[in-house]
Amino acid sequence: MNSTPDRRIAVVGAGLGGLALAAVLQRHGHPVTVFERETAATARPQGGTLDIHAGTGQAALRAAGLLDRFHTLARPEGQEWRKLDPATGALLPFHGPVHDEESPEIDRGQLRGLLLESLTTETVRWGSTVSGVTPLGDGTWRLLLGDGTTEDADLVVGADGAWSRIRPALSPAAPAYTGVTFVEAGFDDCELRHPALARMVGNGSLLAHSDGKALFAQRNSNGHIRAYIALRAPHDWHQRSGVDLGDRTAVRAHLLARFDGWSEGLLHLLRYNDGAFVNRPLYVLPAPHTWQHLPGITLLGDAAHLMPPVGLGANLAMLDGADLAHALIAEPTVEDAVRAYEATMLPRSAEAARDCADALHHLVPPARPGQPDARPPAVSAGGRASVTMRQ
């Protein structure tokens, strides 16, 4: 790369993809600044566990020099999957996701911490909200910050997720609701406080699904189990039902009514969670999502290819970051680097989005005709996403 020390690379968003990009660049001596609206790394919970694939997420960690450290934190036993009959709770034959490689589990927060620890302390500018960007006419861009100040950059990378503030500079596309909502619930100190649930889930993940509904549960570290109650329902299902999401008792009663007839063991996931229920409607970008190349700006991760959370998103975001970093290191100019990166990333993400849509369709199957939740499939069919739920 024609990369002088004053080359200004601005990454918007300190998620896994943006941090992977920064980590690989810094490892090769290239300066980078990450702008993050959160005030600190611990400002909010980072979500559940992730299975990190050898050909994508692990490849990015290897490029950042972090693969050995990852393996000391990861849980190979977390790949175990169980599928239960919704009505009886009986164990059903199920081979789980098919990977061509080992894909150990790690908590998202642990993985983010691993990437952050590899960066110099001044790399991430916490509490820096980017409200938008504007071109300066010479291939460079000006970041508009929430405090009224600005920063200029030779390359702006939108790594700021589903509701990206950078995407509108490249694409008019906006996320659309899939027709599926996940309601998250958590269980602490499970071996002592929820032993029956701990035995049912085992070391990895559990799945039960039928007629527009599904229950997922997954082991996290430190004795925590995270569950997702999946519904094919309108995005405002709670408002239509008169349910206050802040009223845990009301949410629980509504969900128990929806899952009436399911086995009592599985209903533990609805009856006894610790803390609030968290409503997570699933949105996706059009597939394929493409844009006309512009000098000095690009996207990665969910900002570029938001897709259902079925095991590919975090892996692809990190691979995006590593691929862009490698292009910036290898190509003679930023312009050449971004073109090379987009030529690889865009077709790859289009195929993955189709695969993830197909996986969501199978994980939360549409209700049969005549059932209360019956509606047409919300997402199109595709190819080969892993059958996992990761957020």
Tell me the pLDDT tens digit for each residue of 49-99: 888 999 999 999 999 999 999 999 988 765 678 999 999 999 998 765 544
Question: Cβ(190)–Cβ(224) under 8 Å?
Answer: yes
- Average pLDDT for residues 23-31, to the nearest whole number? 97
Tell me the pLDDT tens digit for each residue of 245-276: 999 999 999 999 999 999 999 999 999 999 99
- Find all residues with CB under 8 Å of 99, minimum gap 6, and list them: 51, 53, 54, 79, 386
Question: Cβ(282)–Cβ(360) under 8 Å?
Answer: yes
The pLDDT, as a whole number, for residue 300 is: 98
The pLDDT, as a whole number, for residue 77 is: 61
The pLDDT, as a whole number, for residue 378 is: 32
* DSSP three-state, residue 93: coil
> Nearest-CA neighbor of 86 among 239, 214, 227, 219?
214
Would the pLDDT of 41 be above 90?
no
> Nearest-CA neighbor of 391 among 276, 291, 305, 307?
307
Peptide bond into 168 cis (omega under 30): no
Would the pLDDT of 391 be above 60?
no
Would the pLDDT of 372 be above 80?
no
- Average pLDDT for residues 156-176, to the nearest whole number? 98
- Average pLDDT for residues 19-41, to the nearest whole number? 96
Would the pLDDT of 170 be above 50?
yes
The pLDDT, as a whole number, for residue 382 is: 30
Q: How many CA atoms lie within 13 A of 212 on its CB side?
A: 21
Tell me the pLDDT tens digit for each residue of 119-129: 999 999 999 99
The pLDDT, as a whole number, for residue 50 is: 87
Would the pLDDT of 2 be above 80?
no
Q: Quickly state the pLDDT bin for 373 (edges 50, 70, 90).
A: very low
Tokens of 231: 């519904």
> pTM for this structure?
0.89
The pLDDT, as a whole number, for residue 246 is: 96
Tell me the pLDDT tens digit for each residue of 260-319: 999 999 999 999 999 999 999 999 999 999 999 999 999 999 999 999 988 789 999 999
The pLDDT, as a whole number, for residue 379 is: 31
Would the pLDDT of 205 be above 60?
yes
- Average pLDDT for residues 16-33, to the nearest whole number? 97
Beta strand segments in 43-175, E:
49-51, 81-84, 91-92, 105-107, 124-126, 130-135, 141-145, 150-153, 155-158
Which of the pair, 1 or 17, is modelled with greater confidence? Answer: 17
Which of the pair, 190 or 376, is modelled with greater confidence? Answer: 190
The pLDDT, as a whole number, for residue 95 is: 63
Cross-strand bridge partners of residue 284: 176
Question: Cβ(168)–Cβ(46) under 8 Å?
Answer: no
- Find all residues with CB under 8 Å of 257, minimum gap 6, and list them: none
- Average pLDDT for residues 198-227, to the nearest whole number? 91
Q: Please report, for the chain, the start and end positions of each structural domain, with discontinuous segments joined by +.
A: 9-80+99-174+286-361
Would the pLDDT of 101 be above 90?
no
The pLDDT, as a whole number, for residue 6 is: 66
The pLDDT, as a whole number, for residue 389 is: 41
Beta strand segments in 201-295, E:
205-210, 213-219, 225-232, 274-284
Q: How many CA atoms lie within 13 A of 165 on its CB side?
A: 19
Share of the chain above pLDDT 90, in %: 78
Q: Of the CATH numbers 1.10.645.10, 3.40.50.150, 3.50.50.60, 3.40.640.10, which one belongs to the domain with range 9-80+99-174+286-361?
A: 3.50.50.60
The pLDDT, as a whole number, for residue 349 is: 96
Tell me the pLDDT tens digit for each residue of 305-357: 999 988 789 999 999 999 999 999 999 999 999 999 999 999 999 999 999 99
Give the C-alpha separation, 240 to 234, whole Å.
Answer: 9
Q: Chain-wide mean pLDDT for the chain?
A: 90
Would the pLDDT of 3 be above 90?
no
Give the C-alpha separation, 123 to 113, whole Å.
Answer: 14
